[in-house]
Amino acid sequence: MRKLLGGIVVIATAAGISYVVYKVVLSDEARDNIKKMVETVKTSYDRINEVITSVRGDIMPDDGPLPNVQTTMRQWKDLGY
């Protein structure tokens, strides 16, 4: 329990410091750059997620063995195997 409480305190402190730095220390231009960076990361994540989803969703129909495999199987059958 003590570790959990310590972790929560550290996270809350980091969040508070980040908020103060964002509001007080950073200039308007720096804040705009951070907003653009976050938007770029979101857009990139959405695009990557879309690509991964489309790859997972594609199911190739099984049309049987390829022609070269059929030829090889026929040759082995002709040899008695």
Handedness of CA 65, 68, 72, 78 (dihedral sign): positive
In a domain, residue 42? The reply is yes
CB 22 within 8 A of CB 31: yes
Domain of residue 27: give its range. 2-58
d(C-alpha 15, C-alpha 44), whole Å: 25
- At residue 71, the pLDDT reads 93
In a domain, residue 68? The reply is no
CB 49 within 8 A of CB 41: no
Q: What is the pLDDT of residues 5-41, one digit of tens each?
A: 999 999 999 999 999 998 899 899 999 999 999 999 9
Structurally, the chain folds into a number of domains equal to 1
At residue 59 the predicted structure's pLDDT band, cuts being 50, 70 and 90, is low
In a domain, residue 81? The reply is no
